[in-house]
Amino acid sequence: MKYIFVTGGVVSSLGKGLAAASIGTLLEHRGLKTLMQKFDPYLNVDPGTMSPYQHGEVYVLDDGAETDLDLGHYERFTSGVLSRMNNLTSGQVFDSVIKKERRGEYLGKTVQFIPHVTDEIKSRLHQVTNDNSDVDVLITEIGGTVGDMEGLLFIEALRQFALEVGKENVCFIHVTLLPYIKAAGEVKTKPTQQSVAKLRELGIQPDIIICRTEADLDEDNRRKIAMFCNVEKKNVVAFRDVAHTIYECPLDLRRDKIDRLVVDRLGLGHTPSPALEEWERFVQRVIHPKNKVTIAVAGKYIELQDAYKSIYESLIHAGAHHDTKVQVIRVEAEAIEDHGAKAVIGEVDGILVPGGFGDRGIEGKILAAKYARENNIPYFGICLGMQIATIEFARHVCGLEAANSTEFEKDTIHPVICLQEEQKGVEDMGATMRLGSSESILFAGTKASQLYDNADRIHERHRHRYEFNSDYQDRLQDAGLVISSVSAEEGLVEIVELPNHPFYVGAQFHPEFQSKPNHPHPLFAGFVAAALDHSLNS
């Protein structure tokens, strides 16, 4: 196996994850089998307990791992399906070292950062290598910025690892920022020089430098960076701000032939230049759509670009599929409480209520669902959004006025959403939800079944504690709610929908974790199609 390690310098939010994912796209399109992973130097065991304000979205894998949102980019940009082995945090590393110490596995020794902690990091690399012997290239992104104290052990581990597996099998790529100083009218290379100097101080000489720039990178600056950073000029690659969509990133990096540089560096032999036609067609559909729809996403962390990342991406995928630009209006659910649904979301073609926790904004979301139901506006509820649709239906159609979820009102007299028995004794917060992919049965004749192409079984990823309360199933069904899917094992309600409505669907799972650029998730595709109908007919 060959290894690419992607580090970042100067500042965070450089698009390092997108750069890594784009390299994955390009190598995969050259016919190489690629696997991607992330090392995160923070001390949380996983991001599952972090607030979206801290971390953005928590991305859930098939196996139930709660991971960094960059893994979402990796799964969308490459065909790899990732596992919990592909996101290592300092929290996991130290947890494992300390458990080993207590078990006596280091008996007689002083347990130290080097070699014990660095060995632990390397052992993950060896394990992933052994578990994926069919993979040609393993791409590992290191979170944070070079020079951060918490990243030092990871960098040191990579330095040692490169020596052990042979430097010819390892390519270090450093992503850095070239700030443009407006007053001087100049692009500055000094921060890059210093950041590479820092990396070299830690024993790593980057092979390729990816320069994030607003504008282009001229020959002079390329030469300067090459000289000061000790790399060949051709290995200084520009990564420009893309104009329209993140899916342009692989195409942009391709301009300086980064995939070719990597293949040459790693001696990957003769692979054809990447066949990107399909990817380019997708990008063209995103950039030049025929139609346009407006969709309100009514949530709680709405000002935060990254909080519902996969949902926004899934809407883009579905939009491209229908040759449609999806204009997302981010709505603070509390604003609907204050001003009413009509005033805030009266003009949209579709309403999406995403997942969430806690009771802030809940009544606003219920008003949004009610407005969508009563006015025939397409509604798509995801996880919490499905629970909201259920509560709204119970209250306003079924006549159970006090209906609620026990998450928001512990002693509600109509707990239409409640904890399952096995969740009741749970005290730890980390990794204790219903997590990951499970199989569900779809009922024929429903909208959901039609959208999934009449499949009778589906596999979708979950991340929630509360469930549709089966004690209320009959009453809600009698009042007209259709249950279109239940989990294969426990019979838990997975999808609810309303007949005689253009699109009113709630899913207990997270479809947004399985949508890809050229393969939109069927529920998103159905939702955007309904929104398009709405816009054309209104």
**What is residue 315's DSSP assignment?**
H
Q: Which of 392, 512, 521, 534 is catalytic?
A: 512
Distance CA 348, CA 339 (A): 16
CB of 24 to ligand GLN, least distance (A): 27
Q: Please report whether residue 355 would count as binding ligand GLN according to CB under 6 A.
A: yes
**What is residue 57's DSSP assignment?**
P
Distance CA 397, CA 400 (A): 8
Distance CA 32, CA 313 (A): 25
Distance CA 170, CA 242 (A): 28
Q: Please report whether residue 418 would count as binding ligand GLN according to CB under 6 A.
A: no
Q: Lay out the site mask for ligand GLN across 373-392 (x = CB under 6 A, - = otherwise).
A: ----------xx--------
Number of chain positions touching ligand GLN (CB under 6 A): 10
H/E element holding 324?
Answer: strand 324-332
- Verify whether residue 510 is a known catalytic residue: yes
When the beta carbons of 266 and 384 are compared against ligand GLN, the nearer one is: 384
Distance CA 390, CA 388 (A): 5
- Verify whether residue 396 is a known catalytic residue: no
Part of the chain binding ligand GLN (CB under 6 A), chosen from 29-37, 187-195, 273-281, 351-359: 351-359
Distance CA 79, CA 36 (A): 10
- Verify whether residue 156 is a known catalytic residue: no
Among 466, 503, 509, 513, binds ligand GLN (CB under 6 A): 466
Q: Please report whether residue 55 would count as binding ligand GLN according to CB under 6 A.
A: no
Q: Which of 171, 211, 249, 383 is catalytic?
A: 383
Part of the chain binding ligand GLN (CB under 6 A), chosen from 6-14, 118-126, 173-181, 459-467: 459-467
When the beta carbons of 58 and 229 are compared against ligand GLN, the nearer one is: 58
Burial of 109 (0-12, 13-18, 19+ CB in 10 A): exposed
E strands of 425-536, at which residues? 434-442, 457-464, 466-468, 482-487, 493-497, 504-507
When the beta carbons of 67 and 192 are compared against ligand GLN, the nearer one is: 67
The pair phi, psi for residue 227, each rounded to 5°, is -65, -50
Q: Please report whether residue 356 would count as binding ligand GLN according to CB under 6 A.
A: yes
Q: Please report whether residue 82 would count as binding ligand GLN according to CB under 6 A.
A: no
**What is residue 115's DSSP assignment?**
I
CB of 92 to ligand GLN, least distance (A): 23
Residue with tokens 């801290």: 54
The pair phi, psi for residue 475, each rounded to 5°, is -60, -40
The contacts of residue 295 (CB under 8 Å, 6+ apart) are 315, 326, 327, 328, 329, 348, 349, 350, 351, 352, 528, 531
Among 357, 375, 431, 443, binds ligand GLN (CB under 6 A): 357
CB of 59 to ligand GLN, least distance (A): 12
Q: Please report whether residue 461 would count as binding ligand GLN according to CB under 6 A.
A: no
Q: Please report whether residue 301 would count as binding ligand GLN according to CB under 6 A.
A: no
When the beta carbons of 38 and 463 are compared against ligand GLN, the nearer one is: 463
CB of 443 to ligand GLN, least distance (A): 22
Q: Please report whether residue 465 would count as binding ligand GLN according to CB under 6 A.
A: yes
Neighbours of 72 (CB within 10 A): 26
Q: Please report whether residue 297 would count as binding ligand GLN according to CB under 6 A.
A: no
- Measured from each CB, the residue nearest to ligand GLN is 355
Among 120, 156, 259, 407, binds ligand GLN (CB under 6 A): 407
Q: Which residues are catalytic?
A: 383, 510, 512
Binding site for ligand GLN (CB under 6 A): 355-357, 383-384, 407, 463-466
